[in-house]
Amino acid sequence: MKPLYKGKHFITLEEWNKEEIDTLLEVSKKLKDDFLNNRPTPYLDHKTAFLMFFEQSTRTRNSMESGLAQLGGHATFLDTSTMQIAHGESPKDTAVILSSYGHGIACRICNWGIGNHYLRAMAEHATVPIMNLQCDLYHPMQGLADLMTIQEVCGDTKNLKVSIIWAYAKSHKKPISVPVTQVLLFPRYGIDVTLAYPEGYDLPEWVIEKAHENAKANGGSLTITHNMAQAYKDADIVIPKNWGSWVTNPSEQVIDNLLESYRDWKCTEAMIKLGKPKVYYMHALPADRGNEVDDAVIDGPHSIVYQEAENRLHTAKAVMAMTMGDK
């Protein structure tokens, strides 16, 4: 394994070309095989990364912490409410200082209109790679794991019908970063993406325009519909997940009349039956069980959510090994 991308920021997969993403996937698969066969992977001996979290996390934090330990390094978890950031310290000062203490900085900050700008400000001044653990616009760690999972279960991705479907949830007003990342990434691998959502839950126009460009350049396609059943019909993979109405309504209010009017946008066994016989159900987790999806689906034979979640470990390790490594 060579450090081909040492120092390269990992803020969005749009800034990584296909060859680079393919390399990340290849390394992810090797590291997964090494993990399952108990082979040591000391690619980041004595390396340190700082994990800054403005929001809660289960998969992201633990895949990064355990992943870096398995690579021979150490991850320092930073709750930003206990840092001087809480008193107004600038992203520049934070990035410069943490860069001098270690070898990588990873950050989750999903605040609408703020998150990606914050990461960019850190990247401007950091001397180590900045890794996006989810912002208001992108979740590249999740996108990479999703693509790895799709390749594992389907092999060739050319002309697969993968449907990204809005689903009802009320746990919190979720970021748009997961569907944005998926709709930009999947067409680059020849996937026929169907994006389904009720009116009012639009993604940014620039995302749709760029997704169409990615599809045209790589033999994929993007279809947008406001008909949920159309998205499920004959699908190879369905990804029903909630996202907030941030583009049309930046209010932080979770439950409103628009949300409640679409309670029927739910992944049920009846919806799953519209897909192909071996349709797969995916979700970034945590799923809002009973709202986004019925237990019979997420716990059923079509679900690959735990394989998808496990791959978060191996793709996180690949990103760290390739951007922070010396060997």
Other Cβ atoms less than 10 A from the Cβ of 156: the count is: 9
Instruction: Classify residue 217 as exposed, middle or buried by CB count within 10 Å of its CB (0-12, 13-18, 19+).
Output: exposed
327 pLDDT band, cuts 50/70/90, is low
3 pLDDT band, cuts 50/70/90, is low
The b/e string for 78-102 (b: 16+ C-beta within 10 A; e otherwise) is bebeeeebeeeeebeebbeebbeeb
- pLDDT score for 326: 85
Tell me the average pLDDT across 217-246.
98
- pLDDT score for 118: 98
178 pLDDT band, cuts 50/70/90, is very high
- Whether 2 shows a pLDDT value over 60: the answer reads no
pLDDT tens for each residue of 23-82: 999 999 999 999 999 999 999 999 999 999 999 999 999 999 999 999 999 999 999 999
- pLDDT score for 4: 73
- Whether 228 shows a pLDDT value over 90: the answer reads yes
- Whether 1 shows a pLDDT value over 60: the answer reads no
- Whether 314 shows a pLDDT value over 70: the answer reads yes
How far from the centroid of its chain's Cα atoms is residue 224's Cα? Answer: 21
**Percentage of the chain exceeding pLDDT 90:** 98
Mean pLDDT over all residues of the chain? 97
pLDDT tens for each residue of 78-122: 999 999 999 999 999 999 999 999 999 999 999 999 999 999 999
Q: Write down all domains in the chain, each with its CATH number in brackets.
A: 13-139+312-324 (3.40.50.1370), 142-308 (3.40.50.1370)
